[in-house]
A and B are shown apart, each in its own frame.
Chain A
Amino acid sequence: MKKQMPYSTPEGYFDKLQTRLSDIPARRSRINLTPYLALAASFALAALAGNYILMKTTASQPASDEEIVEYLIDSGMTLAQLEDAVYDY
């Protein structure tokens, strides 16, 4: 940073951050599935998806906050429109 930033960080933060970030490749490879596991997982996923669709069509589940946020962003609604809707409500 060339200009002074008005912030500081906890003591030794950047050393800890580097250690944590450097561990990402090892952690990602640990969670890499073998092809057989991936095949089993895809069957399980298909079964879960079927179950999910069945549940969706038979009972209405409330959407999570994250789903609502994603939907609103994807729908192209502006923040002003959203605020109007919220405060008019």
Chain B
Amino acid sequence: MLEQERFFNDLVKQYSEPLYWHVRAMVGNHDDADDLMQDIYIKAWNALPRFRGDSDPFTWLWRIATNETISFLRKARVRAALSFSRIDSEAERVSDPNPYFDGDKALRALRKAMATLPDKQRLVFTMRYYEELSYEQMSEITGTSVGALKTSYHIAFEKIKDFLTTSD
């Protein structure tokens, strides 16, 4: 138990900040990212007895975070649809001026373009563009083949390029 706590605290010290940015890039909003961090680390703590020592803790934790975040976004969309609000308003929600957004015009446009991507493409784009993960790492995290990830990144990249060109 003590060993597990020590390992868990290492996960918190080493990864909480980069993991926050991973989640924040996906959800856009600080409060949602903060809530998700709590849920992700609770899930990680509960799953720790099943963690195999030979696995990479980074990949393991990112996989939990990614599943949790995708599930959160899916629920948020269904909730939005049920409350009769337009789904595409999410693009504004994630990139509208807020107290914790300090990007310039170009970064804001990039965020807006990213918000138009489907969740999985946005995830792939975030991991590759912002976090600079290798396709092999991304494959382990998402359980998707390297080839499919490359295609997904290419499509996401082209969509963002089109969005930025047409919105100029």
Binding site for B on A (CB under 8 A): 1-10, 14, 17-18, 20-22, 24-25, 28, 65, 68-69, 72-73, 79, 82-83, 86
Asked if A86 and B16 sit within 8 Å, CB to CB, the answer is no
Q: List 28 A-B contacts (CB under 8 A).
A: A1-B18, A1-B21, A1-B130, A2-B131, A3-B129, A3-B130, A5-B21, A5-B103, A6-B103, A6-B107, A6-B108, A8-B101, A8-B102, A10-B30, A14-B17, A17-B20, A17-B37, A21-B12, A21-B38, A22-B8, A28-B42, A28-B45, A28-B46, A68-B82, A69-B79, A73-B78, A82-B78, A83-B81
Asked if B102 and A73 sit within 8 Å, CB to CB, the answer is no
CA distance A73 to B77 in the complex (A): 10
**Residue interface bits B100-115, CB-to-A below 8 A is 1, else 0:** 1111100110110000
Q: What is the distance, in angstroms, from B132's C-beta to the closest C-beta of chain A?
A: 5
Binding site for A on B (CB under 8 A): 4-5, 8-9, 12-13, 16-18, 20-21, 24-25, 30, 34, 37-38, 41-42, 45-46, 74-75, 77-79, 81-82, 84, 87, 100-104, 107-108, 110-111, 129-132
**Cβ–Cβ < 8 Å partners of B25 in chain A:** 5
Asked if B8 and A25 sit within 8 Å, CB to CB, the answer is yes
**Cβ–Cβ < 8 Å partners of A73 in chain B:** 74-75, 78
Closest 7 A/B residue pairs (Cβ): A6-B103, A6-B107, A21-B12, A2-B132, A21-B41, A8-B102, A25-B5
Grouping DSSP codes into helix (H, G, I), strand (E, B) and loop, the A interface class, with mixed when no group exceeds half, is helix
CA distance A69 to B38 in the complex (A): 22
B71 — nearest CB in chain A belongs to which residue? A73
CA distance A10 to B108 in the complex (A): 19
**Cβ–Cβ < 8 Å partners of A69 in chain B:** 75, 78-79, 82
Q: Which of B12, B87, B131 has most chain A Cβ within 10 Å?
A: B12
Q: Quick one: which of A18, A65, A68 contacts B12, CB cutoff 8 A?
A: A18
**Cβ–Cβ < 8 Å partners of B102 in chain A:** 6-8
Q: What is the distance, in angstroms, from A65's C-beta to the closest C-beta of chain B?
A: 7
CA distance A69 to B79 in the complex (A): 7
Asked if A14 and B20 sit within 8 Å, CB to CB, the answer is yes
Asked if B37 and A7 sit within 8 Å, CB to CB, the answer is no
